[in-house]
Structure 1
């Protein structure tokens, strides 16, 4: 794989750059990382319905014209949203295995201008049968909806806000040495407690960043990857989808327990472990989609790092920490790059970059002898996805 990114900007600070400008830079950087020319790209695997941060749309023809790509034999997209970011790499491998293409790019670019914000996307939507329930209830953004799932988990399993704080602090500790990270200042429990309550029980720091920027990933076959610039990160397994009972996720209040108080990943996790013959205990690092801190805890449960309802104690035991020693107390370091909460929110793509660098052995916060990295997408509306990257 080749990986590339732009700088990361606080929401609205990327102007006068455009979506295509940032996407193009990320793709060129990924090509340079892979050691290929941009004209060798002949496939594009999108997710989020080819949506650029839900606020714009990618167009294959425009990207080809902008970058001088002569032809593509594969152009496809997963539906729904950020849950598809690892799944889009699986989509790319499908095109490669079918010999439709030779080098496939997956990308995401995000630019939130003042009049366009993800944080109020449901409140800004036109009324429909679902929104007509959500909007009068004050559930105008993903954070408001996620707070209801978090509160249900607290009710069922005794989960505490202290566990959410620990996730935020543990991943913040991983950004102090990262030049591009948006949030790098040390974070104490007192700092977390002083963060404004936006959607009880979620404070502002439980919400991911709102970031502008772009990330691109080049996928090719294992044979071609031998000639690339860096040791390859091998796609050891990838699964996407989900169950009807999870469905529209936090945009749908009709889910029964236990799905309601979950990340919606259990079914995908089972498929991924069956596909690879691995388990959570085999992972050296976990890059878990963290648009909201409670969803990290629920993914730890759904992927089997701990049993259902034990996420609170697992997290509070320091088991997601990298800065206290990778894998402390039998745990797994989580989001060694800082994640969506602290480094940048490019709808999950930074997690893939970190996974690639971890198994290459070139990450800033390198886990010693990392062989397997778990990368997840979502929790979100279906499909959600997970991927295991393996050291070559």
Structure 2
């Protein structure tokens, strides 16, 4: 269990423009986001002695970005090979590095040309092992295909309907309309959602996240140091990483397990809430990893905001909209702002807790949840102001 409650804080954040075609290298995007985060914190490049990234073999190495920025002594430079679970993982890892004395000020980033370069949503080269030897030859090789099967099982087991998916997609789009950084700012009605084409049943086009070029970064430092810097610190109360019996499986292999067993958040919830010393009812705003509409339900159920199988009804009637009981993805999320592998959730949570989110601001937000990953393994983090 994470035992560094409130000892470390996010002192700076940085974002590039999000687009379909950046016209730049990933290294350039990463450098821009990191420099913006450092400047936002009121630090200089010379103050940074640690750098961490996560990637899917599609990003710039941490040490390369350190060189690009002119960091003379990166005593802690690490690249995590991680998927959707990486956003909170690297942030928590940075606090552990500082605690261990490996660095004092660490910049963490995720950068990708996820639309103009390596596209995660497409087919993949897959080794023929386990169940994969039977599925890959049939063309079953993309993430939407795997998640669609899980979503359909949830509908069969619990009565979840397309109305629940529509509520999530349209709520997040409405949030994106108010966000100048968002890639998708055109208002979307329920009719627009229902009239969109199916990609893989039961997922329509608007159930699946964007493909984006861009980068995000944060600066982590000790809480006492952060209090002397430019912005009000956003403290890291707690966090957790992990999954259940399927966390080592390929997405497709995991389908052989019962539908309730592949929810990673169910397995990390105890450590998450225990590390922060709070519970679901204490959260004011949540930035939930929404690679698909379905993954939002899994986080809500697994982390205890509602009972297993009740995620669909939970999101209805404005509960997850601004002014609702639990505002979600106030920036538009991966579905409508951009897909920066969930790291834009972390920067949005910081803005909410600073009170600098403008028209997106959740009134009185003091505690935020961020989640990362979907199903076989994931991570989550609790932040406070």
TM-score by length of structure 1 reads 0.91
Q: How do 1:236-315 residues align onto structure 2 when only pairs under 5 Å count?
A: 236-248=237-249, 250-260=251-261, 263-315=263-315
**CA distance 1:248–1:77, change in 2 (3 Å):** farther
Residue matched to 1:189: 190
Residue matched to 1:5: 15
- Higher mean Cα deviation, 78-87 or 191-200? 78-87
Shift of 1:119: 1.1
Distance 1:293 1:196 in 2: 15
Distance 1:197 1:169 in 2: 16
Tell me, yes or no, if the aligned pair for 2:115 and 2:212 is still in contact at 8 Å: no
Tell me, yes or no, if the aligned pair for 2:176 and 2:332 is still in contact at 8 Å: yes
Q: Find the residue that maps to 1:316 and give its secondary structure.
A: coil
Shift of 1:105: 1.1
2:361 to 355, 366, 379: 366
C-alpha distance after superposition, 1:299-323 (max 9, x if no partner): 111111111111111112321111x
Shift of 1:248: 2.9
Q: Find the residue that maps to 1:173 and give its secondary structure.
A: helix
C-alpha distance after superposition, 1:43-94 (max 9, x if no partner): 12333xxx2xx24243233222211101122223444312121121110000
C-alpha distance after superposition, 1:220-249 (max 9, x if no partner): 000110121110100000111222234336
Shift of 1:113: 5.8
Verify: 1:31 aligned to 2:38, yes or no: yes
Verify: 1:345 aligned to 2:339, yes or no: yes
Q: Find the residue that maps to 1:220 and give its secondary structure.
A: strand
Shift of 1:134: 2.9
**CA distance 1:254–1:184, change in 2 (3 Å):** closer
When the two structures are aligned, how many residues end up with a matched partner? 374
Residue matched to 2:5: none
- Higher mean Cα deviation, 175-184 or 27-36? 175-184
Residue matched to 1:84: 86
1:18 to 10, 19, 25: 25
Q: Find the residue that maps to 2:235 and give its secondary structure.
A: strand
Give every structure 1 segment of 4 or more consecutive aligned residues whose post-TM-superposition deviation is greater than 6 Å: none
**CA distance 1:40–1:363, change in 2 (3 Å):** same
Q: Find the residue that maps to 1:239 and give its secondary structure.
A: strand
Tell me, yes or no, if the aligned pair for 1:263 and 1:295 is still in contact at 8 Å: no
Q: Find the residue that maps to 1:118 and give its secondary structure.
A: coil
Shift of 1:30: 0.5
Shift of 1:194: 1.2
Distance 1:60 1:318 in 2: 41
Q: How do 1:149-168 residues align onto structure 2 when only pairs under 5 Å count?
A: 149-168=150-169
Residue matched to 2:201: 200
Quote the RMSD (CA, aligned, Å).
1.8
Shift of 1:360: 1.1
2:63 to 61, 68, 73: 61
Distance 2:256 2:96 in 1: 32
Residue matched to 1:390: 384
Unaligned residue ranges in structure 1 (runs of 5+): none
Residue matched to 1:118: 120
Distance 1:115 1:44 in 2: 23
